[in-house]
Amino acid sequence: MSDNESEFTEIKFVAEKVYAHYWPLDTPKWSDFINKQVDQDLNKNKAKKHIVIKSKTILIDNYEFKDIKKIGLTIPLFKKQSTLIFEGNFGEFFAHIHITTKVEDYLEIFNKLMHWRSNHFPDDMPH
């Protein structure tokens, strides 16, 4: 473990919007029950979601995503928000997830996420 990794504890923030869907196509399809549950808990739920990122795990309320890969970070033009996009799995289900935060310190969160990605997922960094 590098010094940077040993300094890392966790990143916590609130997201106004979370969207998760079945992906990649070569993984087991979600059942109707799982689709409805994810829609109810994340996609169509207007309540703010609590995000906790620890090392190589992302917790969105009570959904724990592991095997994180293909991590993207964006700040859309003309918007005061940042978005984290990734692939991961919760239990036996694979997903593609978008997490958008519009909190006042969205730039600070973006910078922490960039640091987290470069330390824990250096192979996902653009070349």
Domains of the chain, by residue range, sit at: 3-124
CATH architecture of 3-124: Roll (2.30)
Query: Average pLDDT in the 96-110 region?
Result: 96
Query: Average pLDDT in the 98-110 region?
Result: 96
pLDDT band (50, 70, 90) for residue 126:
low
Sequence-distant contacts of 84-89: CB under 8 A, at least 24 apart? 84/113, 86/58, 87/23, 87/24, 88/58, 89/65
CB of 16 within 8 A of CB of 100?
Answer: yes
Percent of the chain with pLDDT over 70: 91
**pLDDT at residue 123, as a whole number:** 80
pLDDT digits (tens, 9 = 90+) for 61-90: 999 999 999 999 999 999 999 999 999 999
